Amino acid sequence: MTYNSFSLSGSIVDVLNQRIFPGTIHVENGRITSVAEESVSETHLILPGLIDAHIHIESSMLVPTEFARAAVVHGTVATVSDPHEIANVLGMRGVDFMLSNAEQSPFKFHFSAPSCVPATPFETAGAELSAPEIETLLQRPDIVSLSEMMNVPGVLNDAEDVNEKLRLARIAGKVVDGHAPGLRGEAVKKYVEAGITTDHECFSLAEALEKLSLGMQVQIREGSAARNLDDLIPLLDEHYKNCMLCSDDKHPDDLAEGHINEMVKRAIAAGIDPLKVLWSASVTPVKTYKLDIGLMQTGDPADLILVDDFDNFQVKATYINGELMAENGTTKLSSQVVEPINKFEAALQTPQLFGIKSSQDQVPVIDVIDGQLVTKKYSWHPTLNSDGFIEPNIEEDILKIAVLNRYSLSKPAVALIRNFGLKEGAIASSVAHDSHNIVAVGTSNEDLAKAMNLIIQNQGGISAVTKKTEHVLPLPVAGIMSDDDAFRVGVSYGEMDDLAKEMGSQLGAPYMTLSFMALLVIPDIKLSDKGLFDGTTFQFIDAFESSVG
């Protein structure tokens, strides 16, 4: 329903001018015509709409139109979205799909041009984006930045292709987003001097403060797997004008529960001035990316939300361009017809493909850290069966992990992982950053094969198998997104998440954590379809030999 002319009264939270006052906002044809300070009976808060300053929509397992339907319920009116997940699968065809689908929604989607497709040469991706394609994207008005520059070694070593993309962004006058987890000292200085101005990968206060001191803006992240808000909340007291809030990756069940609104609520509860928190949640991204999003000033688009109070921060209504998008927890947006596109060539797997041996007395193990994308390298004396093959050790929580190239016929790369917690069965996913090959963790070769084969048979999805049951949530759009209703997907994903935890996982988000175990650009140790990889030295680790030549 569109309101050509209406008024909203309450406590007006004027974030831009850092004041709160009673009054009435008048809206005509989607824009604010006046903001009157006056006595009113209404007590709810009227604030600018919230913005997710860095997110991969694909990680919600929803297409943009469905993501919007879920996000507006929580007061989100806009995103800065990096489509590099689908770009790694389908290249420009995938990016075009995201932009085209987003145009069907009144939600204010803004996109970045993916800078690293493929992310590294150490894994198999489905596509590549060349510098001329990046240049084409950067000329579009809905592309507001060059997305996260994950190729840190390329920046530090002046790689020609990296320098060319940075040059194109400068010419286009677009922001260059960063991705430099743990980068400090002289290295981060050079990274910043290359023109990279934001970073969402800070996982310590000291790292964030160093990057802020060099002129970077810090995007404080609270996603489904990486949760940095608690560590970084203190930044908002003094550095709120150079901070933004983002989720990076948000799974559908978590999105059903909350979004940037939950970050705002927690920061306020931690004692930060609400006006400072809301500046980071709205003003900083608008100014940084030059977004056409209203900040509740006369003449602005009427992009605003109604909230009960700062303590509960319950979103009562969301407006975009003066149109009511959500009210009292119910979305007003309709689903759109989606025609899936995909790229999936993997063949069914057999259990013997997951057998591994090693000549080493101590073998490296991926050590998972709950709530973080980084991992640690753990050394383990392997348990062997009678044939000399390495066996998982459930008592020590040492399981097998495998990654299979989904783009051509291949055999899986297999290694070991710790702290995943499964006591039975296996789980698998074709959501596996950044190349989205199939990744699985399991307690036996048989279960790994079954879990992967469910994904292959469905041309994408997440799966779980035990002796008693087999479940799969299909993801037919590029093997990483559903074509179904956002809220049904959220329920289905929640059921899969619960099943993984019933199988023994103690992780907060087992599938989200699994999806990052193939993300080579995050240290210390990960697994690609080509083998075990050291993310600190950017070299393969020669530790295992397969049972199949």
Q: Residue 298: what pLDDT?
A: 98
Residue 323 class from Cβ within 10 Å (0-12 exposed, 13-18 middle, 19+ buried)?
Answer: middle
How do residues 350-365 score in pLDDT, each as one tens digit? 999 999 999 999 999 9
Predicted confidence pLDDT, tens digits, the chain (549 residues):
445 689 999 999 999 999 999 999 999 999 999 999 999 999 999 999 999 999 999 999 999 999 999 999 999 999 999 999 999 999 999 999 999 999 999 999 999 999 989 988 899 999 999 999 999 999 999 999 999 998 898 999 999 999 999 999 999 999 999 999 999 999 999 999 999 999 999 989 999 999 999 999 999 999 987 889 999 999 999 999 999 999 999 989 999 999 999 999 999 999 999 999 999 999 999 999 999 999 999 999 999 999 999 999 999 999 999 999 999 999 999 999 899 999 999 999 999 999 999 999 999 999 999 988 889 999 999 999 999 999 999 999 999 999 999 999 999 999 999 999 999 999 999 999 889 999 999 999 999 999 999 999 999 999 999 999 999 999 999 999 999 999 999 999 999 999 999 999 999 889 989 999 999 988 899 999 999 999 888 899 998 987 654
For residue 152, the number of C-alpha atoms closer than 13 Å in the C-beta half-sphere is: 22
On the question of a cis peptide bond just before residue 230, with omega within 30 degrees of 0, the verdict is no
CA dihedral angle for residue 499, residue 504, residue 506, residue 511, rounded to 10 degrees:
-40
| Tokens read off for 269 | 């509860």
pLDDT for 549: 47
Nearest Cα neighbor of 10 from 48, 37, 35, 44 is 44
Tens digit of each residue's pLDDT (9 = 90 or more) over 81-128: 999 999 999 999 999 999 999 999 999 999 999 998 998 889 999 999
Cβ–Cβ contacts within 10 Å for residue 316, how many?
Answer: 16
117 CB-near residues (< 8 Å, 6+ apart): 84, 87, 88, 91, 125, 127, 128, 129, 434
Give pLDDT, residue 547: 60
Give 347's DSSP letter. Answer: P
CA atoms within 13 A on the CB side of 264: 30
User: Helix 64-71 to helix 486-502 angle, to the nearest 10 degrees?
Assistant: 80
Distance CA(98)–CA(237), nearest Å, equals 36
Q: What pLDDT does 1 receive? A: 43
Q: What residue spans define the domains of the chain?
A: 5-331, 351-546
Half-sphere exposure of 108 (CA within 13 A, CB side): 30
pLDDT of 234 reads 97
What burial class does residue 195 get, using C-beta atoms within 10 Å of its C-beta: 0-12 exposed, 13-18 middle, 19+ buried?
Answer: middle
CA distance 241 to 116: 28
Instruction: Name the CATH superfamily housing domain 5-331.
Output: Metal-dependent hydrolases (3.20.20.140)
